[in-house]
Structure 1
Amino acid sequence: MDDLDQLAFENAPMGLALTEHRVIRSCNDTFARMFGFEKPQLLGQSFRLLYGTDQEFHQIRDIGLEPLKQDMPYSDERLMQKSDGSHVWCRFRARTLTPKDPLARIILSFALIENTPLGPSLTPREREVLMWLARGRTSKEIAQVLNLSPRTIEDVRARLLRKFKVKNVAVLLARMAGFGQGGPAS
């Protein structure tokens, strides 16, 4: 990369990373700052570092593999963990350089959806359920994925609504996406 390309990469308005088998091989300064790290702390590290639990890290692995295998990009929104243990809601995009083995080499981008803290602290279970709710899953579907009862998921949903002082999941997700009381996040 010449100096101008490097300058653009490092200062892109979104976090950029190149991974090989879920290990960070390269990232820009924006990515490191977004998650509260210095860039050298991330290089060579497993992406596990950015997830609240091993279970979250393993569950997220296969989401989006099908479009990547077809040489298509994949995008979703997810809750990621910062170096201090706090969380940020991000818009995530991925494109593989190796469609036959999608995780072998992937270029990822992360853009903050909301620049303010997410509010109340969440338990690992609440983060998991919120992640699946953001993907449009029902309580029954989430229960199947997590091997729990639908009633347990309903209890977690109710707890999330109380913590965030909202009346329904649609309002909760809108708030998480930055469209809460203050309008769209910039």
Structure 2
Amino acid sequence: MELAAIDVDYREAFENAPVGLAVGKRRVIVACNHEFARIFRGAIAEMVGETFERLYPTQSDYEETGARVGERLANERSYTDDRVMRRLDGDLFWVRVSGFTYTPELAHAHTLWVFSELDRNQQSGGSLRSTLTPRERDVATLLIDGKTGKEVAKALDISPRTVDIYRTRLLRKYNAKNTQALVELLLRG
């Protein structure tokens, strides 16, 4: 069968793609697919029309990331990184985000975003976080969420002393003077 003779339903392909897809206009979600809704634990109807801000750990992270990504989109039209994002139920998780702008002169005016959830054992890449081990990623995610060492230990079913070891390792690895500086580095990527 000739390729030209195949009838493709692009809307169905978008809706059922095996990666999360979202179309943005001025950082508002104007369309998303089923996998995007699954990743963020929501329904398409409750996401469309909302800003991407709901999906960031903090408002300042949303604003800082928007500025940094906007600059890159304006210059290169595309962007990829690994970052921590927030599901609609509040859980934080690691995701690989790739984006493209159709309007580099107004970087966020019309964008397409691809989201792939990073599981515990998948290596991240292309960012500061690319050297995190799976356990370091677990500890870092909970620290970003503002958990104390004891809360991290309880959530991961490890001792508080083990959490301290991982936190110290992360501080040294990223040359951060304290946990807050580490969190800021990880959020900036």
Structure number with greater Rg is 2
| TM-score interval (norm. to shorter) | 0.5 to 0.7
1:91 aligned counterpart, secondary structure: strand
* Cα 1:34/1:63, change in 2 over 3 Å: same
Q: Distance in 1 between matches of 2:57 and 2:168?
A: 26
Output aligned runs, 1:1-80, within 5 Å: 4-80=9-85
CA RMSD across the alignment? 3.1
Q: Distance in 1 between matches of 2:138 and 2:27?
A: 29
The sequence identity of aligned pairs, in percent, is: 30
TM-score by length of structure 1 reads 0.63
1:107 aligned counterpart, secondary structure: strand
Gaps of 5+ in 1: 127-158, 174-186
2:100 aligned counterpart, secondary structure: strand
Q: Distance in 2 between matches of 1:53 and 1:165?
A: 23
Gaps of 5+ in 2: 1-6, 122-133, 148-159, 175-189
Larger helix percent:
2
1:9 aligned counterpart, secondary structure: helix
- What is the identity, as a one-letter code, of the residue corresponding to 1:168? R
Q: Distance in 2 between matches of 1:164 and 1:30?
A: 36
Pairwise CA distance, 1:163: 6.2
* Cα 1:3/1:37, change in 2 over 3 Å: farther
Output aligned runs, 1:65-144, within 5 Å: 65-114=70-119, 119=138, 121-124=142-145
* Cα 1:71/1:166, change in 2 over 3 Å: closer
User: 1:71–1:96: 8 Å Cα contact kept in structure 2?
Assistant: no
Q: Distance in 2 between matches of 1:163 and 1:33?
A: 33
- What is the identity, as a one-letter code, of the residue corresponding to 2:143? L
> Does 1:168 find its partner at 2:169?
yes
TM-score by length of structure 2 reads 0.62
Matched positions, count:
139
Q: Distance in 1 between matches of 2:143 and 2:96?
A: 19
